[in-house]
Amino acid sequence: MKSYIHLSYFCVLLAKINIITAQKYDCGYCQPEQVHIAFGSKSNDIVVTWTTFNDTHESRVQYGAGALDEEASGGRSRFVDGGRLRRSMWIHRVTLADLRYDTKYVYHAGSVYGWSEKFSFKTPPRGDQWLVRAAIYGDMGNKNAHSLSYLQDEAERGHFDVILHVGDFAYDMDTDNALVGDEFMRQIQPLAALVPYMTCPGNHEAAYNFSNYRSRFSMPGPYESMFYSFDLGPVHFVSISTEYYYFLEFGLKMLSTQFQWLDRDLREANKPENRARHPWIILYGHRPMYCSNSDDIDCSVEYTRKGLPLFGAFSLEPLLQQYGVDVVIWAHEHSYERTWPLYDSKVYNGSVDQPYRNPGAPVHIVTGSAGCQEETNKFKPAPAEWSAFRNSDYGYTRFLAPNHTHIYFEQVDVEKGGEVIDSVWVVKDAHRPYNI
């Protein structure tokens, strides 16, 4: 009798375990996808982000230098798209903190229900005395992504330490109940799972108050990827949302918050001890302050440059002068344009022979020709005097920051098989506010 009771108890226990197990494995769509990485709060923290369509109840990354012998856990949040079907998915985020510098890591992301394929990335070297290499572009969609194969090729060959995607993704991430967003994130995975993919929002992300953008990316800081900064080698990168100036229906609060944050961030970056280590300040946002395209009004309304209509509130160009921002990068126009050093529509070249050596104002670069279904934008026949070079072919920008005095930009034309059609060195003996 006693053994019968024991047996019954054991069977009940087994049944319970089976029930629990059955519940735990009730995870229909739990294979990780859309894996991408970004820098965390410092350059040896890497945040891994991915998507599953059901809740996996855990978010884990197994990783290591050579073997998957370490593990980190994180969290997940349910994202519900604002479209008619209210499609939902789970976005997982895990921070790999305090990684060894200048080290190749392998990783996979997932849970007991499924792991991604194995990816690798290399952490940057320690400190500021090393060559930063970046790809920079905006306006890349699912369809007609001309530059994507070149970018993937270069990313897989280890050519980039960081990628900056300066707004406008997928066209649009919310389209077709966010299926287009899923497809885009799959499409960039071969780059974005290998190289920190740093972003800013563009006008194409505006639906449901930028919810797809805010949910799918994981930029540093507390502002849901809308604005942030990070240091890499000798560069202090600053990312802003120009879209706060144009989608006022979402309110002024975040515009005001961003403006105050930007003022603080740039002031901090200019403290002697910070500017000594990261002397180059490069700011990027989606809609340009200057452009000479034929079909666009955004550069002529000048909300970001001069501030909001009537009151001129939150005007950004004075901050560029006040805090000695070296280069500003934009997209939105589906073309490439480089300006002379420029402030308030006036040119401040360093000298006649060397316009970019110790320039008297920031240099602006518009690079929004990576490729999307809206094709490229043409230019006005006669540009203003501040326009130094412009081209409407599909392509992307390469950036090098070798040291404290020199940085380099070049434009890759993918319609010409990857030919470099423009290049410029910006040289500065000292970094300080402009004397304008």
User: Which stretches of the chain bind Fe ion, using CB under 5 A?
Assistant: 168, 202-203, 332
Residue 255 or 424: which CB sits closer to Fe ion?
A: 255
Give the shortest CB-204-to-Fe ion separation in angstroms.
6
Beta carbon of residue 434, minimum distance to Fe ion (angstroms, whole number):
28
Angstrom CA distances, 231 to 86, 97, 302, stand at 38, 16, 29
Give the residues across from 91 on adjacent strands.
Answer: 51, 77
Q: How far is the CB of 368 from Fe ion (least distance, A)?
A: 7
Please state, as a whole number, how many other Cβ atoms lie within 10 Å of the Cβ of residue 390. Answer: 20
User: Would you tell me how many other CB atoms lie within 10 Å of the CB of residue 84?
Assistant: 7
For the CB of residue 151, give the shortest distance to Fe ion in the complex, in Å: 19
For residues 203 and 403, which CB has a smaller minimum distance to Fe ion in the complex? 203
Indicate the residue among 295 and 344 with the shorter CB distance to Fe ion: 295
Residue nearest Fe ion by beta-carbon distance: 332
Nearer to Fe ion, 140 or 232 (CB): 140
Closer residue to Fe ion in complex, CB, 168/182: 168
Nearer residue to Fe ion within complex by CB, 133 or 332: 332
Cβ-based nearer residue to Fe ion, 33 or 168: 168
The closest of 379, 230, 409 to 299, measured between CA atoms, is: 379
The radius of gyration computed from the CA coordinates of the chain, to the nearest angstrom, equals 24
Q: Minimal distance in Å, beta carbon 203 to Fe ion?
A: 4
Q: Which is nearer to Fe ion, 235 or 366 (CB)?
A: 366
Q: How far is the CB of 118 from Fe ion (least distance, A)?
A: 35
Q: How far is the CB of 120 from Fe ion (least distance, A)?
A: 32
CA distance 164 to 399: 10
CB neighbour list of residue 276: distance below 8 Å, 6 or more residues apart: none
The residue (of 54 and 203) whose beta carbon lies closer to Fe ion is 203
Q: Which residues make beta-bridge pairs with 110?
A: 60, 115
| 274 class by beta-carbon count within 10 Å (0-12 exposed, 13-18 middle, 19+ buried) | middle
Q: Are 232 and 249 in contact (CB under 8 A)?
A: no
Minimum CB separation of residue 137 from Fe ion in Å reads 12
Burial (CB < 10 A; 0-12, 13-18, 19+), residue 169, is buried
The secondary element (H helix, E strand) that includes residue 169 is strand 169-170
- Nearest residue (CB) to Fe ion, 206 versus 254: 206
CB of 155 to Fe ion, least distance (A): 23
Choice between 200 and 407, CB closer to Fe ion: 200
* Three-state secondary structure call for residue 40: coil
Transcribe 278-346 into DSSP letters: S-EEEEE-SS-S---BTT-SHHHH-HHHH-STTT-TT--HHHHHHTT--EEEE-SSSSEEEEPSEETTE
The minimum distance between CB 306 and Fe ion, in angstroms, equals 19
Tell me how far apart the terminal alpha carbons of the chain are, to the nearest angstrom: 97
CA atoms within 13 A on the CB side of 217: 33
Find the shortest distance in angstroms from Cβ 221 to Fe ion: 23
Please state at what angle helix 148-156 crosses helix 179-192, rounded to 10 degrees. Answer: 40
Q: Is 29 helix (H, G, I), strand (E, B) or coil?
A: coil
